[in-house]
Amino acid sequence: MKRQRVLALIKKEFITIRRDFSFALNIFIFPLIMLIIYGYGIRFDIRYLPTVVWDLSQTPQSRELVEKFLASGYFRSAGAVSGYHEIEKMFDQGEAKLALVFPADFGSKLARGEKTDVQILVDGSDNNTATLAVGYASGIVQGYQADLVVEKLAQKGIRLPFQVPVVREEARMWYNPELKSIRFILPGIIVVIMSVMGTIMTAMAIVGEKERGTFEQVASSPLSGMEFLVGKIIPYIFLALVDMVLIVAAGYLLFRVPVAGSFALLFFFSLLFVAVTMGLGLWVSSVSNSLQGAMTLAFLVTLLPSILLSGFIFPIENFPAVLKALTYLNPGRYFIEALRGIYLKGVGMAVLWPQAVFLSLLGATLLGLTLLRFKKRLA
Amino acid sequence: METFWTESVGRVWQVVKKEVIQILRDRRFLVLVLITPVIQTVVFGYVANVDVTDIPTVICDLDRTTQSRELVDRFLQSGFFSPIGIIDDPREADRWLDGGRAKVVLVIPAGFSKEVVGKKTSEIQVLVDATNSNVAGIAGSYASAIVAAANVDMLLARLARIGIRTEETVLVEPEVRVWYNPELASVNFMVPGLLCVILMTSTMNLTGISMVREKERGTAEQLSVTPVRSWELVLAKVLPFVGIGFINMVFILFLGIFWFGVPLNGSLGLLFALSGVFIFTSLGLGVLISTLAATQQQAMMMAQFFMVPNMLLSGFMFPIANMPLAIQYVTYLIPLRYYVEIVRRIFMKGAGLPELWNQLVPLLVFGVVAVGIASLRFQKVQK
C-alpha cells in the first residue's frame, strides 16, 4: 500500500465532497437541525394538557377540584362543555385530551358526606400521554380526597393532632433532574448521525463509482483494491468524528449539556463505533448494484437498529425476548449505553468495559469479513 | 382531441412499461423495497412499547416495620415496579443506578413507622434513573399516584387510632375512562403513524432518486428527443411508485390489523382514497427534489434532509400537543402532519370525510404547490 496514492485519493474525495452543497447540508446542517428539533420541540412529560370540564353540579366543590387540576401545571383549561357529544367533538378535533365530568349531585353529596364520583375521560389514542395523564389525574383526586377529610373535621371543630400529609414523596431524578429530553436524546443523535455518515455515505461513495462506471477507471489505475478502499473510507471516518464533536459542542453551547465523563473516552468509543459503521457500509456497497438499492439497504441496516433497537427512544427492558436478544448484536446498543454512561453519569472504563469489548468484537468481525470479501472480488 | 388523449395515454403506457421492466430487472432492489416496510412494521410493533411495566426497582427499607412493608407492597403490587434487589445502605443506590441495572430505588428512612403512626410527616425517597426522561416521567407519575393513595389510607388510619371516624372512607371516586384506545396499547398509536412515514419514504425518496438517475446517466436527453412530452414523462416515472406505495400500504395494513390486532374503526375505502391524496403530495415533493438535485446522491441526501423534520414534527412519535407553542406552529408546515392526523382519526376515531376536510385541504394545497413548482422547474430543466 503506497501512502502517496492513498493520500491522492483522499484529496480527490474531499474535493468532491467540498464541491457538493448537499454534503455540507448533511454534514453540518442536518445534525444541527435534529438537535434543535429535539432540544426545543420534543417533550416526554406532559405540560398544560388541554382539558375540558362538563360541570353539571356547578358548586364550589367541583370548582375546587378543577382548580387543583389547573394548578398542578399538568393540565390547562380548554373550556367548558355541556354534553358527551361536545367532549367527543373536542377529542376528535384534537382540541382536548382530557375531560372532567361532574355529576349534578357532586357538590350536594359531598356536603352531606356521601360518596360520589368524578368522571375522568382521556383521549387514549396517544397511549403515552394518556398514561401520564391518568397517573397525574388520579394523584390529584387522591390529594383532594385527603383535603376533604381534613376540611370536614375542621368544620366539626376537630383540629388534627398531627401533620398532613402523612407521607411525602421526594422523587429524585438522577442524572437528569429536569427530565430534559435533550439530555436523553443527545447520545441517540450522535449514534444516528454517525451511523448515517459512516454507513450510508461510505456505501454511497463506493456504489456511486460503480454506477457511474468510474469504478473501471479506478481498476485500471495503479491504485490497488485496498488502497482504493482505504482512501475512500478515511474521509468519511474523519467526517463522522467531526460530526460527533460538532454535536457535543452544539449540545453544550445551545443546551448546556456538559460531558460528565472523560472526552478521551468518548472519542475512543466513537472510533470503535466508526469501525463498525464502516464495516457495514462496505458490506452494503458490496451487495448492491444500484444507489437506490444501496440506500434502501443502508437505511434498513442502520436507521432501524440505531433508532429502534438501541434503546435510543424505546427502553430495551420492554422488548419481547427475541428482540431483546437481538439487541446484543446491535453495535448501536453498546455505543448508546457507553455514551449515556460517559455523558450523563460520568462513569469510566470500570463500568463500561463490557461495552468496549462487545463493540470491538463486532467491529473487528464486520470489518474483517467485508474486507476479505472485497479482497476476493478486487483481486 | 380524442386521438390526442389516446396517443398520450399510449406514450405514458410505454414509459411506464419501460420503468416497470427496469424495476423488475433489479430483483434485489424490488425485494428490498417490498420487504423493508414489513420488517419495519414488525420491529416497530413490538419495540415501540412505552407502556412502562415492571420497572426494575431496588428496595432500601431502613425501617423494616409493618408500615414500611405495606408501602413497599403498594409499589410492588401496582405492577409497575418489580423488585430486583434489596439493599441496606442508601449509598449502594449509586452502584445499581450507575450500572443501569436498576431504574428506580425506593428508600424508606428509619423511623418511618414512628412518624406514620405518630404526628409528623414522614418522607420517603424515590430515586429514578432519568437518563431516559420518558420512562422516568412515567415512573415518577406512577410513584406519586401510589403515594397519594397511600396517604389517604394512612390519614384515615391515623384518625381511626385517635378515635375519629369519618362516615365514609372514600368520598370521591375517580372513574377513569379511556376513549378510543381503552387498553392504552402502543401499537394502536404507532402502526397508523408508521404507515404514513413508510408511505412517504417509499414514494418521495424513491421517485426523487429514480428521476435523477435518468439525468445522471444521460438518458434524460434520449428521452427528450422522443415524442414523449415532459408531463407525460413525469407521470409515467411516478406511476410505478404509486403502485409500490399502495402495495406497501396493503402489507402494513394487513400486518397491523391481523397480526397486531389494531382495530380499524373507520372506512377502508376512505383510508385508501385519502392516502391517494397524500401519495400525490409526496410524489410532488419527490419530483421537486429531483429537479433540484444533480446526482442521485444529492437527491437521496435532500430527501433524507426533508424526511427527518417530517418524522419528528408530524406527531408520528412525539405528540404535537406536548411541544412548545412556537414549535406547534412550525408543525403546520409539515405535510406529513396532516396525513398522520387523518390516518389516526380514521383508525381510532372512525372519522369520516366531514371531520377530516380540515386536514385534507392543507394536504391538497401542499400537493398542488409542490407539483406546480416541480412541473415549472422540470420544464426549465428539460429545455
Position A248 scores a pLDDT of 92
User: What integer is the mean pLDDT of B31-60?
Assistant: 82
Position A127 scores a pLDDT of 79
Mean pLDDT over all residues of chain B? 83
> Where are chain A's structural domains?
3-42+179-378, 49-155
User: What integer is the mean pLDDT of B217-226?
Assistant: 71
Position A374 scores a pLDDT of 73
Between residues 193 and 232 of chain A, which touch chain B (CB distance below 8 Å)? 196, 204, 208, 211-212
Grid coordinates belonging to A173? 431524578
Contact A230, A312 (CB under 8 A): no
Q: Provide the CB-side half-sphere exposure for B53 (13 A, CA).
A: 10
**Residue, of B224 and A75, whose pLDDT is higher:** A75
Query: Per-residue pLDDT tens for B168-179?
Result: 555 666 777 777
User: SS in 3 state form for chain A?
Assistant: CCHHHHHHHHHHHHHHHHHCHHHHHHHHHHHHHHHHHHHHHCCCCCCCEEEEEEECCCCHHHHHHHHHHHHCCCEEEEEECCCHHHHHHHHHCCCCCEEEEECCCHHHHHHHCCCEEEEEEEECCCHHHHHHHHHHHHHHHHHHHHHHHHHHHHHCCCCCCCCCCCEEEEEEEECCCCCCHHHHHHHHHHHHHHHHHHHHHHHHHHHHHHHHCHHHHHHHCCCCHHHHHHHHHHHHHHHHHHHHHHHHHHHHHHHCCCCCCCHHHHHHHHHHHHHHHHHHHHHHHHHCCCHHHHHHHHHHHHHHHHHHCCCCCCCHHHCCHHHHHHHCCCHHHHHHHHHHHHHHHCCCHHHHHHHHHHHHHHHHHHHHHHHHHHHHHHC
The complex's ipTM works out to 0.77
Contact B195, B249 (CB under 8 A): yes
pLDDT at B1 over 60: no
Torsion angle defined by CA atoms of residues A363, A365, A366 and A372, in that order, rounded to the nearest 10 degrees: 130
**Residue, of B28 and B84, whose pLDDT is higher:** B84
Between residues 303 and 322 of chain B, which touch chain A (CB distance below 8 Å)? 304-305, 308-309, 312-313, 317-319, 321-322
Size of interface A-B (CB pairs under 8 A): 395
pLDDT band at B254 (very low <50, low <70, confident <90, very high): very high
Q: Search chain A and give the residue with CA nearest B175.
A: A119
Integer Cα distance of B321 and A91 in angstroms? 12
pLDDT band at B382 (very low <50, low <70, confident <90, very high): low
Q: Report chain A residues whose CB lies below 8 A from the CB of B348.
A: 125
pLDDT band at B268 (very low <50, low <70, confident <90, very high): very high
pTM for the full predicted model: 0.80
**Residue, of A172 and B325, whose pLDDT is higher:** B325
Integer Cα distance of B101 and A317 in angstroms? 10
Contact B121, B115 (CB under 8 A): yes
pLDDT band at B247 (very low <50, low <70, confident <90, very high): very high
Position A179 scores a pLDDT of 61
pLDDT at B79 over 60: yes
User: What integer is the mean pLDDT of B46-58?
Assistant: 78
Position A51 scores a pLDDT of 94
Position A72 scores a pLDDT of 86
For domain A49-155, is the CATH number 3.40.1710.10?
A: yes
By Cβ distance, the residue of A114, A167, A318 closest to B150 is A167
Residue % of chain B over a pLDDT of 90: 20
Integer Cα distance of B198 and B246 in angstroms? 11
Contact A96, A129 (CB under 8 A): no
Position A3 scores a pLDDT of 81
CB proximity A119 to B under 8 Å: yes
pLDDT at B356 over 60: yes
**Residue, of B233 and A361, whose pLDDT is higher:** A361
User: What integer is the mean pLDDT of B104-123?
Assistant: 84
Between residues 220 and 249 of chain B, which touch chain A (CB distance below 8 Å)? none
pLDDT band at B248 (very low <50, low <70, confident <90, very high): very high
**Residue, of B117 and A175, whose pLDDT is higher:** B117
Helix (H) or strand (E) holding B83: strand B81-86
pLDDT along chain A (379 residues), means of 10: 81 81 77 82 77 92 91 90 90 86 88 83 84 85 82 74 69 66 81 84 82 73 78 87 91 87 92 90 85 82 82 78 88 91 84 91 87 70
Domains and CATH numbers, chain B: 2-48+185-382 (no CATH), 55-161 (3.40.1710.10)
**Contact across the interface for A196 and B304, Cβ inside 8 Å:** yes
CB proximity B78 to A under 8 Å: no
Position B237 scores a pLDDT of 82
Least Cα distance to B215 among B281, B302, B283, B297 occurs for B297
